[in-house]
Amino acid sequence: MNNRLVLGIETSCDETAASVILEGTTVLSNIVASQVEIHSEYGGIVPEIASRKHVEAIHAVINSALSSAGIGFGELDAIAVTQGPGLVGSLIVGFSYAKAAAIAGDKPLTGVNHIHAHMLSVFLDAEKRPRFPFVGLVVSGGHTSLYLVRGFLNAELLGQTRDDAAGEAFDKVAKILGLPYPGGPIIGHLAQKGSRNRFPFPRAWLPTTPFDFSFSGLKTSVLQQVRKIEHSGQDIPVEDICASFEEAVIDVLVQKTLAAARQKGVQDVAIVGGVASNRHLRQTMLVKAKAEGLRCFFPNKEFCTDNAAMVAYTGYHQLKAGITLGPDADVYSRLPL
């Protein structure tokens, strides 16, 4: 199978994205149409609005990915599309488009797991790539999971969140503080000016399942603290709350990732997903990993949040292994890696 030019399509949440990659190495185009302004009015993603906006945007986004790459549809060798996990109404838009395009153009189609794609996004920087096996932390708005990654198509789940994802905790705490959606970037920004130890928010270490996560208790603790300050009639120290909250999340993410690396005896760790664009997480992880003699890898920021280059890249490896979909394939709201 010739997979020289692969088109990736991603519509699992609120970003309509398409990308063309060449020879499984070079990203020729990476187009992302974000709906964030529409959903921020509601303080979070409204699934029905998300799928309607994908319907409106998908054709233009794909055309734009092809024209930025300087190629026509006929030149594509294969199509890769996100099959799950995600919002079903959103997934169906990209998936149906991909299926129809693959049938009409007589091109192979492969279905990509969104978490898998986030994991492999760390390989989109050709100059700084981890070596297998490595410990990978996927940390986004929908997922917080640790994996032992043995190969491009081989990952073992070590642990995952029992309740909220870390990005979801950022978004919920932002809502409590009256900050806009999504909360991660704005909290990260305000935290830079705050005290990281003013509020000792709880960390869920979960000693019996040390690679699992839990962030709902932390979110509740922030809510209680904010209410207490409101009742006392004082101003909410937003920057200190952001900094202390961010510190609690990052402390847990970093410690658990390092503990997994130690236990599995790997030399490399990778942190991927929307929260991996957090500056304080990147700095803390780099310093602590170095102190333990580990190498730490992050995707470039454009590949941390949802994009289709990571889908095309993962699809490239699946196609190389002969993994394709038939015309009766479906999408999945839950899809384990």
Instruction: Enumerate binding residues for ligand KG4 (CB under 6 A).
Output: 13, 140-142, 167-168, 170-171, 182-185, 188, 273-275, 277-278, 305-306
Q: What is the number of other CB atoms lying within 10 angstroms of the CB of residue 332? A: 14
**Closest distance of CB 171 from ligand KG4, Å:** 5
Tokens at residue 218, please?
């932390």
> Side-chain half-sphere of 28: how many Cα atoms within 13 Å?
22
Contacts of 83 (CB under 8 A, 6+ apart): 91, 95, 111, 112, 113, 325, 329, 331, 332, 335
User: Which class for 217: exposed (0-12), middle (13-18), buried (19 or more C-beta within 10 A)?
Assistant: middle
Which residue, chain included where needed, has tokens 């970003």?
Answer: 15
Q: Which CB atom, from 83 or from 140, has the smaller least distance to Zn ion?
A: 140
**Closest distance of CB 12 from ligand KG4, Å:** 7
Q: Which CB atom, from 214 or from 277, has the smaller least distance to ligand KG4?
A: 277
Contact partner at residue 305 from ligand KG4, Zn ion, none, CB < 5 to 8 Å by partner kind = ligand KG4
**Closest distance of CB 272 from ligand KG4, Å:** 8
**Closest distance of CB 22 from ligand KG4, Å:** 24
**Closest distance of CB 307 from ligand KG4, Å:** 8
Contact partner at residue 184 from ligand KG4, Zn ion, none, CB < 5 to 8 Å by partner kind = ligand KG4
**Closest distance of CB 296 from ligand KG4, Å:** 17
Q: Which stretch binds Zn ion (CB under 5 A): 210-218, 253-261, 294-302, 303-311?
A: 303-311
Question: Cα–Cα distance between 228 and 222 in angstroms, integer?
Answer: 10
Q: What is the number of other CB atoms lying within 10 angstroms of the CB of residue 208? A: 6
Contact partner at residue 244 from ligand KG4, Zn ion, none, CB < 5 to 8 Å by partner kind = none
Q: Omega before 202 cis (within 30°)?
A: no
Torsions phi, psi for 252 (to 5 deg): -65, -45
Q: Which CB atom, from 45 or from 148, has the smaller least distance to Zn ion?
A: 45
Contact partner at residue 44 from Zn ion, ligand KG4, none, CB < 5 to 8 Å by partner kind = none
**Closest distance of CB 172 from Zn ion, Å:** 17
Q: Which CB atom, from 268 or from 306, has the smaller least distance to Zn ion?
A: 306
Contact partner at residue 188 from Zn ion, ligand KG4, none, CB < 5 to 8 Å by partner kind = ligand KG4
Q: Which CB atom, from 136 or from 182, has the smaller least distance to ligand KG4?
A: 182
79 pairs with which residues across the strands?
Answer: 7, 109
Q: Which CB atom, from 140 or from 145, has the smaller least distance to Zn ion?
A: 140
Q: Which stretch binds Zn ion (CB under 5 A): 48-56, 121-129, 181-189, 304-312?
A: 304-312
In which element (H, E) is residue 33 found? strand 26-34
Q: Is 306 in the site for Zn ion (CB under 5 A)?
A: yes
Question: Cα–Cα distance between 207 and 161 in angstroms, integer?
Answer: 14
Q: 126-145: which residues touch Zn ion (CB under 5 A)? A: 140
Question: Cα–Cα distance between 142 and 4 in angstroms, integer?
Answer: 32
Contact assessment for residue 331 and residue 88, using Cβ atoms and an 8 Å cutoff: yes
Contact assessment for residue 102 and residue 109, using Cβ atoms and an 8 Å cutoff: yes
Tokens at residue 137, please?
């932390």
Contact partner at residue 84 from ligand KG4, Zn ion, none, CB < 5 to 8 Å by partner kind = none
**Closest distance of CB 120 from ligand KG4, Å:** 13
Question: Cα–Cα distance between 337 and 335 in angstroms, integer?
Answer: 6
Which residues bind to Zn ion, rule: CB under 5 A? Answer: 140, 306
